[in-house]
Structure 1
Amino acid sequence: MPLNKVKQMQQQAWQNPQGFWADAATQIEWMQPVEQVLDDRDAPLYRWFPGASLNTCYNAVDRHVQAGHGQQVAIQYVSPVTGTEEAISYEQLQQRVATLAGAMANLGVGKGDRVVIYMPMIPETAYAMLACARLGAVHSVVFGGFAPPELASRIDDAKPKLVLSASCGIEPSGVIPYKPLLDKALDLCEHRVEYAVVFQRPQCPADLERQGDRDWQQLVEQAEPAPCVEVAASDPLYILYTSGTTGRPKGVVRDNGGHAVALAWSMKQIYNIDAGDVFWAASDVGWVVGHSYIVYGPLLARATTLLYEGKPVGTPDAGAFWRVIEQYRVKTFFTAPTAIRAIKRVDATASLLQGVDIGSLQALFLAGERCDPDTLTWASEMLRVPVVDHWWQTETGWPICANPLGMAPLPIKPGSPALAVPGYQVEVLDEQGQPVAAGQSGAVTIKLPLPPGTLMTLWNNDDRYRDGYLGRYPGYYLTGDAGYMDEEGYLYVMGRVDDIINVAGHRLSTGRFEEVLAQHRAVAEAAVIGVKDTLKGQLPLGLVVLKQGMDTDLERIKTELVALVRAEVGAVAAFKLVAVVEKLPKTRSGKILRGTMRKLANGETVVPPATIEDPDSLNVIGQALAQMGLTTAHQPVLDLS
């Protein structure tokens, strides 16, 4: 029985992590072999595979070429925003990465140096990451187009020797020149960066006028290929700053050894990807999904990874994803629930899927934010493949809970990312740190040690790591999410801990409200936040986006939504506030900015996060709140009782 098989593997990983991960480590080629699996001498700062050494770029690229697979496509680049496509073989990838690494070495980059990568979704971004890994340098990818103050804060924290950039990014709205943003960021920095290397894109070439500016193409033409540098398993591979950080950036540090082992293991066990399969993660390399499952994971597994420069809708339409799956015979597709909701909103009957052959597709994986059951059910009915909601974080680097399709496919329960992946011992705790009964809500935690591939610490800040993640429940990692487990061990993540609202003493999950609102036939997306109330403490406010093309009576829909929540959640929810809006504010990875909206509704000063996709979306919410007689920023909170 699949459930028993997964639980058996969970037990093996918990009870004998040394043996479990030693076996998984055989998928990686080591320069210095693994002798010790786990070092707990500095607990709770654990280290995996101490004493072993490797090179991540060698494992992702060179070894496949040496084994005779150089002609296999490594990266399939698809760019609907420029109308270009390119199939890059493993042999071509090796040559381009090695030569870029040589160019960087000529500028003085070596083992342990940091390199900030500020680039769009083009193959050169993957080359840059792999070239850093080849040299033993530590990369930190920052979204191309990020605001200069945010880029500057990350440069000051990482203190790179070099910034790799491109002349521009291309969005559906048009071309975005990067060089002026980079120049402004460098002017704001206290840290002096020696070189800025810019890849010139024909859509908007950049002027290279600053001291230290270098032309990418010219440097590569003059460089010789660089070999792979041996690094310790515990040496850092990259720093990734978590989205929405304020004040001092919070840089998650990933090691080389544990990262390679965990990702190689996950490609087969979770995603059911074998060598030669085509895997597509429709994300951005600025997010952890792009690091793990656009670049490193698929290449470690010798799969073909699809690199996509475009959007789920608008480049050119809501059928783009399906046509790409057909053309490149994608086996497993991974995107965010918000992408599916965007497609559903524009094409609710999936008419653009008609006549498209997606027979190669065996599974759709969703992550990035909680997936409401309605979205999962719609995707499942339209695509006719398993739709797997799975849950993880920037900090963990790979899935915490998932339906492990390559190990033992489990029954799908909409609303749940299924069981803890072997290696993660997930427990739901009450405020006193005691495990709660099945069905009871609490803080979702992971018992230490975390498995390989998860964060080692925060960059130059062990104390912040201990205080922020390990201090609340000694012996546990605090995920920051709230949820519950059912009797079979399926986890239900209902939102961030601060997305639990307290209505007249009743603790209610905003995720549950959103689940109910999404059931309505006219609703494409929903977000629920708690607004202050002098009588009840907080009241739930529902913000809904309607499907396009429907003849709708807004007042009737609002009335139906209130009645629906009353029927499903109960009168105790006191749900009366609903606003219909054109769009919800989101990060570029698709996370809805509930915390920012909550501040807006409660009269607090709001600074739009640097990761916001569309800053105007906050104005839309502010106008809706004002029309309801609620607050906008800097105005007093009204008495809603």
Structure 2
Amino acid sequence: MQESRVFPPSAEFSALSRIGTLEEYRRIYDEAARDPDGFWHARGQTIPWMKPYTKVLDWQPPAAKWYVDGQMNASAACLDAHVAAGKGDKTALVWVGEPTEDRREFTYRELLAEVCRCAAGLKKLGIKAGDVVSIYMPMTPELVIAMLACARIGAVHSVIFGGFSSEAIADRNEDAKAVAVITADGGWRRGTQLPLKKNVDEALKKSPSVKHVIVLKRTGQPVDMVAGRDVWWHDLVAGMPTDTPPAAMDSEAPLFILYTSGSTGKPKGIKHTTAGYMVWVKTTSEWVFDLRDDDLFWCTADCGWITGHSYVTYGPLAAGASILIYEGAPNAPHEGRFWEIIEQEKPTIFYTAPTAIRSFMKWG
């Protein structure tokens, strides 16, 4: 079905928007085209730097290096900067589980403390800057915490979609030479407990580089724990400090690896570096979604995909907004679950996929 209808924004909506008119958009576009270095320098100044950059872009085709000589930390840009600005008591993350009674909420100060504890635990295991950590988890707060904890110490996270098989985990572990896997005993999906830890155990038969497995107790299902390799999340973070300092990372230091789906061949690991990515996702969060720091933003993507990285975790948190994440499927325990969550949590911006919209239409 294709329609050519146009729905112009209301005057009230335009007046409140960061980019309220087509003329304003064209002005910004022309500015970026006329002076790209100046344009991206201005955007670069919207994130905190631990060491200022000396050049916006070093373009030696095909290689591009952004914010040359600068140093920053993605975790600090998402958390510390807002706490330092006096917004520590502001809601950072609201989580709703598939079981309807499950709900947790974190302020920016609380989320920072949890990230610091996890980061300290990873360091205690010997994980260091440049090491790759695979993350195979359900959509829980600990998934976001694990991503930011890796970023805090300079480890490179590789998030693997929780619906993938043990073979897919093994392939990604082996290609990235992951030294650790962060997972959970299981996760919930349409009322069924997914065997995440069991899948990891099977994958590790083909993942010789992995030395540590951190396991979140989510569903309570029985799992095998290998002595000397496996540790429960709650044991890892127990007694850990809440002030683990963020590592100063070069602008071009890798932040994460994310693999393509493999639908057209062997999955390919795409490496995203730190500063250029952070500037981009903060800019697009603010300009594409008109995101403000008083918004509660619900992006329904899974963090196993780039949309989840960019618009569940890094972009909205860098912008100082509040994020809403949901663990389960849109039709569990019933087809009105998303609307129930919207009524209860009252997100101000809802970002989902056309496939989901078509399902909503079918469900009525």
Q: Same fold (TM over 0.5)?
A: yes
Aligned-CA RMSD value: 1.6
1:317 equivalenced with 2:338 (yes/no): no
1:200 equivalenced with 2:217 (yes/no): yes
Contact 2:191 2:333 in 1 (8 A): no
Q: Which residue of 1 aligns with 2:57?
A: 38
1:326 alignment partner, one of 343, 353, 358: 343
2:40 alignment partner, one of 4, 12, 21: 21
1:409-558 equivalent positions in 2, closer than 5 A = none
CA distance in 2: counterparts of 1:202 and 1:310, whole angstroms: 13
Contact 2:296 2:347 in 1 (8 A): yes
Q: Offset at 1:201?
A: 1.8
Q: Is there any run of 5+ residues in structure 1 with no aligned partner, and where? A: 348-641
Q: Residue 86 of structure 1 aligns to a residue in which SS? A: strand
CA distance in 2: counterparts of 1:247 and 1:152, whole angstroms: 16
Q: Residue 323 of structure 1 aligns to a residue in which SS? A: helix
CA distance in 2: counterparts of 1:298 and 1:12, whole angstroms: 25
Q: Offset at 1:184?
A: 0.8
CA distance in 2: counterparts of 1:181 and 1:202, whole angstroms: 15
Q: Offset at 1:194?
A: 0.8
For 1:337, the aligned partner's letter is: P
Q: Which residue of 1 aligns with 2:5?
A: none
Contact 1:175 1:203 in 2 (8 A): no
For 1:10, the aligned partner's letter is: Y
| Distance verdict in 2 for CA 1:205–1:82, change over 3 Å | farther
2:184 alignment partner, one of 161, 166, 186: 166
1:341 alignment partner, one of 337, 341, 358: 358
For 1:220, the aligned partner's letter is: V
Contact 1:115 1:161 in 2 (8 A): yes
CA distance in 2: counterparts of 1:160 and 1:206, whole angstroms: 22
Contact 1:168 1:205 in 2 (8 A): no
1:298 alignment partner, one of 316, 322, 325: 316
Q: Which residue of 2 aligns with 1:73?
A: 91
Q: Which residue of 2 aligns with 1:269?
A: 287
Q: Offset at 1:262?
A: 1.0
CA distance in 1: counterparts of 2:146 and 2:222, whole angstroms: 19
Q: Offset at 1:110?
A: 1.1
Q: Offset at 1:176?
A: 1.2
1:112 alignment partner, one of 124, 130, 133: 130
Contact 1:103 1:224 in 2 (8 A): no
1:64 equivalenced with 2:77 (yes/no): no
Q: Offset at 1:17?
A: 1.0
CA distance in 1: counterparts of 2:307 and 2:84, whole angstroms: 28
Q: Residue 68 of structure 2 aligns to a residue in which SS? A: coil
Q: Offset at 1:177?
A: 1.6
1:139 alignment partner, one of 157, 163, 177: 157
CA distance in 1: counterparts of 2:163 and 2:225, whole angstroms: 18
Q: Which residue of 2 aligns with 1:586?
A: none
1:157-306 equivalent positions in 2, closer than 5 A = 157-189=175-207, 191-209=208-226, 211-225=228-242, 226-245=244-263, 248-306=266-324
CA distance in 2: counterparts of 1:30 and 1:169, whole angstroms: 37
Q: Which residue of 1 aligns with 2:7?
A: none
For 2:360, the aligned partner's letter is: I
- TM-score normalised to the size of structure 1? 0.52
- Which structure carries more helix by proportion? 2
Q: Offset at 1:55?
A: 0.5
CA distance in 2: counterparts of 1:188 and 1:208, whole angstroms: 17
Q: Deviations over 1:337-385 (max 9, x none)?
A: 11111111111xxxxxxxxxxxxxxxxxxxxxxxxxxxxxxxxxxxxxx
Contact 1:74 1:305 in 2 (8 A): yes
Q: Is there any run of 5+ residues in structure 2 with no aligned partner, and where? A: 1-19
1:47 alignment partner, one of 44, 65, 75: 65
CA distance in 1: counterparts of 2:24 and 2:233, whole angstroms: 51
For 1:216, the aligned partner's letter is: W
1:12 equivalenced with 2:54 (yes/no): no
Q: Residue 37 of structure 1 aligns to a residue in which SS? A: strand
Q: Residue 265 of structure 1 aligns to a residue in which SS? A: helix
CA distance in 1: counterparts of 2:321 and 2:28, whole angstroms: 25
Contact 1:61 1:90 in 2 (8 A): yes
Q: Offset at 1:325?
A: 2.0
Q: Which has the larger radius of gyration?
A: 1
Q: Which residue of 2 aligns with 1:455?
A: none
CA distance in 1: counterparts of 2:91 and 2:156, whole angstroms: 26
Q: Offset at 1:259?
A: 1.1
2:166 alignment partner, one of 148, 157, 163: 148
Q: Deviations over 1:98-120 (max 9, x none)?
A: 00000000011111111000100
For 1:287, the aligned partner's letter is: W
Q: Offset at 1:211?
A: 4.2
CA distance in 2: counterparts of 1:193 and 1:199, whole angstroms: 17
Q: Residue 14 of structure 1 aligns to a residue in which SS? A: helix
Q: Offset at 1:173?
A: 4.7
CA distance in 2: counterparts of 1:333 and 1:140, whole angstroms: 26
Contact 2:92 2:106 in 1 (8 A): yes
Number of equivalences: 344
Q: Deviations over 1:5-61 (max 9, x none)?
A: 3233222212311000100111101011132100113x1111111111101100101
CA distance in 2: counterparts of 1:38 and 1:153, whole angstroms: 34
CA distance in 2: counterparts of 1:69 and 1:3, whole angstroms: 33
Contact 2:96 2:327 in 1 (8 A): yes
For 2:147, the aligned partner's letter is: M
Q: Which has the higher contact order (CA 8 A, sep 6+)?
A: 2
For 1:7, the aligned partner's letter is: R
CA distance in 1: counterparts of 2:346 and 2:205, whole angstroms: 46
Contact 2:312 2:323 in 1 (8 A): yes
Contact 1:157 1:249 in 2 (8 A): no
Q: Residue 143 of structure 1 aligns to a residue in which SS? A: coil
1:3 equivalenced with 2:33 (yes/no): no
1:129 equivalenced with 2:147 (yes/no): yes
CA distance in 2: counterparts of 1:261 and 1:71, whole angstroms: 25
CA distance in 2: counterparts of 1:206 and 1:200, whole angstroms: 10
- TM-score normalised to the size of structure 2? 0.91
CA distance in 2: counterparts of 1:318 and 1:14, whole angstroms: 46
| Distance verdict in 2 for CA 1:283–1:81, change over 3 Å | farther
CA distance in 1: counterparts of 2:260 and 2:21, whole angstroms: 35
